[in-house]
Amino acid sequence: MDNTSQKRALSAYRLRLTQRGIARFEVVARETDRPLIRSIASRLTEDGPDAARIRTALTDALQGSPEKTGGILAALRRSPLVGSDLELNRDKGAGRGIDL
């Protein structure tokens, strides 16, 4: 790009992107994913309700759902043995003798 008009045009374009809050960056991905990544990136730059929906869906998919506290307790409460009145007391005996 030896042409100064091309350099000015490129600088002006990048300045407009920066003013819109858009950053350029490089992504490493499979060749087959190129159209998908480009379409997602272009939708996210529009910053409308569609972009918000995509952002939310991608964030949820990549982070997973937040861990809930009490997960073990909830699993025990769902157990089929709840309410079966099992006797779960151990014998407090000394145990058995061992010949060494």
Residue 67 banded pLDDT, cuts 50, 70, 90: low
pLDDT beyond 60 at 1? no
Question: How much is the average pLDDT of 57-76?
Answer: 78
Residue 89 banded pLDDT, cuts 50, 70, 90: confident
6-53 residue pLDDT tens:
999 999 999 998 998 888 889 999 999 999 999 999 999 887 888 899
Domain edges within the chain = 4-65
Residue 98 falls in which region: left (phi positive, over 0), alpha (psi -120 to 50) or beta: beta
- Cα–Cα distance measured from residue 81 to residue 78, given in angstroms and rounded to the nearest whole number: 9
Residue 12 pLDDT: 94
